[in-house]
Every structure is written in C-alpha cells, then in structure tokens.
Structure 1
Amino acid sequence: MAKPNGVIVYEGPSELDGEPIVVIVTGLKRTANRKTGSMLSSWILLQNTPPCDAAKQGADVSICGDCKHREWGTCYVNLGHSPYNVYKAYKRGSYPIADINVIRSIADRTLRVGSYGDPAAVPEPVLRHLVRAVKGVTGYTHQWRKSTKHLANYCMASVDSIAEAKRAKALGFRTFRIILEGEELLDDEYYCPALDGKATCDNCLSCNGYANGGDRKNPVIVLHGSSYKVRRYKRIMELRNQKKGFKHLLPQRSV
C-alpha cells in the first residue's frame, strides 16, 4: 500500500465553539516550497463544510475565531487551493488516523502549526503531543487576547499594529507583525529573512513562540503582493490608522 501524504491527528470539537473539526498533517512525502522549505503542513478544517463555503457562511469562526482577516476578507490563504484539496481528500477517506509509525517517521521533520486555521481551535494536549513529535515548529495565532497562554510556547501572536504588539507582549507572547512599506520597526523587531530569500521557515524556525526559551526578538514582514486582498488590506489599514470607517470594504457573507 502506498504511503499516504497526510494523516488525521484529531477529530472532535473545536476549542473555539465546540463544532466538529479535523486536524490533518500533510507533506509526509517531501517537497520543497520556496518559502517554507520541506516543512510539514497542518490543516484545521471543519469536518462537514468545505472551506470556501465555511468562509462565505461565517462558519469558519469554528477554526479561525475572531481573526480580523476572516472578517476583513484579507486572509492570505487561498481556500480554493490547498485547504479545499485537503478537505476533498479527507471526505474521500484518503487520510488514515496517525499511528506510532507515522509519529516516528516525522521525528526529523519541521511543522507549520496551522497552515490554515488557528491553533487555538485544537485541544492543548493534541497540540502539545504534535509539537513534541517533530524537530521544530512555526505557528501563529490571532487568539492571543483570549485564555490561550499555552500557545505562547510554540506560536507567535499575529499582530497588525504597534499597539497590538505591545499588548500581546504584555500577555506573554512573542509577536509577528505585518507592516506597510515605510513603517518603522520597534527596537526588538527585525525583518523576516524569508521575504528576500535569506532563509526558509524550515531552517529559520524563529517563529516558534518560546519553544527554545529565553527572550528573543520579534520578526516583521512588509506587506507585499498585488492581489485584491493585499490592496484591500492596505486600504483598511490606511483608514484604520486615520481612525476612519472601512465597513464598506468588507466582504458580504451569505446566511
């Protein structure tokens, strides 16, 4: 039997609202992504709703929580690509439940915790065992304001302003901040080296919260690209910084 490219590591209620979700790890067959290298990916999906439909209906709150990019329609993940393909494969029964052999086989691999979906949706014991099974992780959460302190051990607080960065640090998180061209960095920040190809996430692994202990600096990334999502995000941030309204820019959700 051919080795599957992914396995199920959790099926059960979301920690965010109790709805049934699934966590799938893919990339068991190594590939090389320009930015992430050969990292494993983990997908946090609703069990019974395709990702695009979930986003349109607002059901993605079960896996994304109150992430502002969910509301703004500025999430960088293309739901019609990898998340949808993983969901389809899951519904076809293509992914077995992870067993001890799979766990042993990924001991020398690195993992992106939440390639889509927020790690806060996953029960803490599941997340902890998954992180311990691999060599290193990267992870990001928008749920840092809530009682998710355990996530600081392996996730960065995703923030979009200096005020948010300061608040997240006060709550015990390291931060990953998105900035616009020309914005200044704080004294404890540096540019993400993956943006100009100096490193891949796979060999950098700085975005792992306090997994390695100690006080470390915090990466930032300059918003880049020209997609409609990037243009919308830039406009929202400009209006937000000017303390002006931007509801007219937000996507409409179906009921």
Structure 2
Amino acid sequence: MQNSIIYQGPSLLDGSPIVVVALVKSSNKKTGDMVQTYIIRADMDPLKASKYGLDFAVCGDCKHRGEADPDGTGKQAKKRSCYVTLFHGPLQVYKSFKKGNYKPAGDISGLARGRMVRLGTYGDPAAVPSHIWDALLKDSAGHTGYTHQNNAPGADVRPDLTMISADSLQDAKIAWQSKRRTFRIITAVSDKQSNEILCPASEEAGRKAQCNTCKLCMGSHQTAPSIAIVAHGNGAAYIN
C-alpha cells in the first residue's frame, strides 16, 4: 500500500480547502507503526497557517494552536502549546503533497487492513466527513482519535470514534456526564481523577505500551477509563 490522499475538499469547520494524507508506515516511538493521517490545508503550509491563524480549518478552536502573530518575526503562532512540531511531519507532508507525491486512494479501507490507525496525527478528525474515517477503519485493527470540536458548528464529531480532548477538569466533567470518554492534559500526576488512568505510553506511566498495542483511545464505543497525560513536548511550557 502507498501513502495516499483519502480526502480533498472543504473543511467542515470553515469551508477552507484541506487535504487528508494517509501515511502507511511510521517510526513514531510513542505510537508505534500505525497508519498516520495528516489533516492539512491544501493551499498553504502549516507554519504559515499557524502564524496567520488560518489553521482553524484543521484545528478549529483548539486553544493549543497558540496566538496568531501575522506581524511578528516568528514562523508560527506565539505560545503554541500543541505537542505536534509543525516543521517536522506536517510541513514535510505538505511539501510532498505539493510535489504531487501522493495520489488519491482507490480502496481507502485497504490502506489500513489489519493495521492500527491514528486519526489526526495532525489536525482534528471532526474537520473531515466521518464517512471517510468509517471507510478507512472498515478493515483496520483499531484506531486512536481525539477532538477538540465538541460544540463547534459544522464539525462532524463522533464520540464513538474519538476521545473528547478536555482542556480542564470542568470540560472533562461535562463530557463524562454525557458518557463520553476524555483525553486530558494535566500538569502533574496528582491531578489525575479516580475515573482516569495515565496514558500507558507516557513517561509517567513507565511507557508500558505503544498506542498501536494499547488501543484505549478509540472513543466511547468501548468501556474503559478516560485517559490523562502530563503535559509534554515543545509546547508544554505554555500549558497551565
């Protein structure tokens, strides 16, 4: 199977042109060898989109986007707390897309047959019509997925497919009342609640498993505790 385009069209969040690229191999140490999916703008690179605040098309109102800085000297938004490093995977995928290295997939489900899939390696899955994810996951071994768009107009939020990304304990409690599982960033292990467990792939949990074997972040269709993880990555300093 080859790296392929599985969706190209308007973002459900603001109508801007986006593209979803599925990479069939990965050396990511945390997730393991999963099919990785990048949701990026089709008309500008991720750094520019971040700097000008135009990454709303793929990230929605996620606070971890940081503050748009169109007049600044930086290459991306200020105080960006997202753990995804834009000039690594997202930028390289964009450049390859612009070079025409990816072709539209024929049988989308074939890309992930018997494999674990990461929905939104970069970008929010709710920006994409969920029938795309249903097709990709049809013959898969499972997936991980997270969304910040729980109440966003137009977003195709599927709590059965994705964890609700909670930015506060209050946000998490609202989701729990609706029987939705959450993935919550915390600042210390002591912040974890009784109905949460630490992400098994995290340093604090002893890196007991990779995402491709853990399979706990598959949304609310399974019965399992919610997940918490201590802030990490280059943007951790900006998380309160």
Find the counterpart in structure 2 of residue 134 from structure 1. 140
Q: Structure 1 residue 48 and structure 2 residue 43: aligned?
A: yes
- In 2 relative to 1, CA 80–197 (structure 1 residues): closer, same or farther, beyond 3 Å? same
Structure 2 contact 109–135 (Cα < 8 Å) conserved: no
Check conservation: 2:65, 2:81, Cα contact below 8 A: yes
AA partner of residue 224 (structure 2): R
Higher-helix-fraction structure: 1
1:170-209 equivalences under 5 Å are: 170-195=177-202, 196-209=206-219
Q: Is the 8 Å Cα contact of residues 149 and 172 (structure 1) preserved in structure 2?
A: no
Correspondence list, 1:150-165, <5 A: 150-165=157-172
TM-score, normalising length: structure 1: 0.82
Runs (5+) with no aligned partner, structure 1: 238-255
> Structure 1 counterpart of 2:228, which letter?
V
Percent identity of the aligned residues?
40
Residue of structure 2 equivalent to 1:9: 6
- 1:13-162 aligned within 5 A: 13-26=10-23, 28=24, 30-71=25-66, 72-100=79-107, 103-146=109-152, 150-162=157-169
* Residue-pair matches, total: 224
Amino acid at match of 2:227: P
Instruction: For 2:173 and 2:156, locate their aligned partners in 1 and report how far apart those are by CA, in whole Å.
Output: 16
Corresponding residue SS for 2:7: strand
Distance change in 2, residues 1:124/1:161 (3 Å) = same
AA aligned to 2:210 is: T
On the 8 A contact 1:152/1:172 being kept in 2, the answer is: no
How much has 1:142 moved relative to structure 2?
A: 0.6
Shift of 1:141: 0.5
- Whole-angstrom distance in 1 between the partners of 2:34 and 2:238: 30
> Could you state the TM-score of these two structures normalised by the residue count of structure 2?
0.87
- Contact 1:13–1:19 (CA<8 Å) still a contact in 2? yes
Measured in 1, the distance between the counterparts of 2:26 and 2:56 equals 31
Structure 1 counterpart of 2:237: 231
| Bigger Cα displacement from structure 2, 69-78 vs 35-44 | 69-78
1:183 partner SS: helix
Determine the C-alpha separation between the residues in 2 that align with 1:124 and 1:142. 15
What's the CA shift for 1:151? 1.6
Letter in 1 for 2:34: M
5+ residue gaps, structure 2? 67-78
Give per-residue Cα distances to partners, 1:56-95, cap 9 Å, x unaligned: 0111011110001013511111111110000000011000
Query: Which segments of structure 1 move beyond 6 Å, counting only runs of 4 or more?
Result: none
RMSD: 1.8
